[in-house]
Amino acid sequence: DTFSKILSGKAVAESVLDRVTDETRRLASQGIKPGLAVVIVGRDPASQVYVASKGKKAEACGFLSIKHELAEQTSESDLLSLIGSLNDDPTVHGILVQLPLPKHIDADKVIQSISPNKDVDGFHYVNVGKLGTGAVTEAFVPCTPAGSMLLIERVLGRDLSGLDAVVIGRSNIVGKPMANLLLAANATVTIARSKTKDLPAVCRRGDIVVAAVGRPLMVKSDWIKPGALVIDVGINRIPADPEIGSKSRLVGDVDFELALKTAGTITPVPGGVGPMTIALLMANTLKAACTANGLPRPT
């Protein structure tokens, strides 16, 4: 039935968060409290929402949650010195700079100034390099692909030998790290992009399809190999249409209703990859706190 084909990220995210919370309680008995510092520059409304929910989740896990809200006109050098002081602060184990940053700030320079040991977003070259060389457990892996990978593991296990995976999108935040995770799990990986020739045919090769594009309902049901696992990373807001009386709503990159018929398993939007992303941020922060204290990383 169609219901059993839907892979809820909410349930898996809850189980990740429960584990993080338990582990954090155990650390508390050793006098250790994971600390997550979130830095936001300017008043972008979507960023405000993300930052608030990250702070709330961190507190719910038992972390120290620190928020630095800086004015839109903050200079790059002031931001860099804040990062420097967070790098030196022993109560802070994870540092996250909410993107996008205002145009006058070089986002890459800021990200590369974060200590790789506190880079819980996994965007520092050191962590990108570790993931790229297959040292996955040593790296901080970007939260969205890491969360997507956990969902894939739930369905197909850890060894994807012999399976074809197609990742649509090649961003540094989602597509590329996703492809590296799939490679590390022994899948045969294809990365598609905007100019890929005959994308539907490429997509149909995938036993696993990860859509990370940002185009509402782009992936059609006849692009999907029957029985494939479809992970929909896209989050797209469709505006309200008063003509047909529809409200504004969130949809993924996959035409979910129809794809459900072809796919073996598919993640919904919302409630799929979204909740996994924030859960993995908490798991990464816990990992950073353990490493900083010379403790083994929780798996």
Annotated binding site, which residues? 169-171, 235
CA 64-69-74 angle, to 5 degrees, is 140
Task: Name every residue whose Cβ is closer than 8 Å to that of residue 236 and which is 6 or more positions away in sequence.
Answer: 214, 215, 216, 217, 250, 251, 252, 253
**List 113, 277, 284, 285, residue binding ligand NDP (CB under 6 A):** 277
Contacts of ligand NDP in 183-242 (CB under 6 A): 192-196, 199, 212-215, 233-236
Least separation in angstroms between residue 212's CB and ligand NDP is 4
Establish if 9 lies at the interface with ligand NDP (CB under 6 A). no
Establish if 171 lies at the interface with ligand NDP (CB under 6 A). yes
The Cβ of residue 260 has, within 10 Å, a number of other Cβ atoms equal to 19
The question of whether 56 is a catalytic residue gets the answer no
Whole-number Å distance between alpha carbons of 168 and 242: 32
Least separation in angstroms between residue 169's CB and ligand NDP is 3
Nearer to ligand NDP, 233 or 259 (CB): 233
Q: In the bound complex, which residue of the shown chain has the CB atom lying closest to ligand NDP? A: 171
Residues 70-89: x where in contact with ligand NDP by CB under 6 A, - otherwise, as a string: --------------------
Judge contact between 99 and 144, C-beta under 8 A: no
**List 19, 170, 205, 220, residue binding ligand NDP (CB under 6 A):** 170
Judge contact between 35 and 5, C-beta under 8 A: no
Whole-number Å distance between alpha carbons of 247 and 255: 18
Establish if 270 lies at the interface with ligand NDP (CB under 6 A). no
Nearer to ligand NDP, 168 or 208 (CB): 168
Burial 143-167 (b: 16+ CB within 10 A, else e): bbbbbbbbbbeeebeeebeebbbbb
Cα distance between the two ends of the chain: 33
Query: Annotated binding site for NADP(+): which residue ranges?
Result: 169-171, 235
User: Is the omega angle on the peptide bond into residue 270 within 30 degrees of 0, that is, cis?
Assistant: yes
**List 7, 209, 254, 273, residue binding ligand NDP (CB under 6 A):** 273
The question of whether 109 is a catalytic residue gets the answer no
Establish if 175 lies at the interface with ligand NDP (CB under 6 A). yes
Structure tokens at 299: 């798996």
The question of whether 98 is a catalytic residue gets the answer yes
Nearer to ligand NDP, 47 or 115 (CB): 47
Nearer to ligand NDP, 58 or 92 (CB): 58
Of these residues, 57, 118, 119, 121, which one is catalytic? 121
Q: How many residues bind ligand NDP (CB under 6 A)?
A: 25
Give just the sign of the alpha carbon dihedral 284, 288, 290, 296: positive
Q: Which of 210, 162, 213, 212 is nearest to 185 (CA)?
A: 162
CA 113-48-76 angle, to 5 degrees, is 30
Establish if 34 lies at the interface with ligand NDP (CB under 6 A). no
Residues forming contacts to ligand NDP in the complex (CB under 6 A) are 144, 168-171, 173-175, 192-196, 199, 212-215, 233-236, 273-274, 277
**Which residues are known to be catalytic?**
54, 98, 121
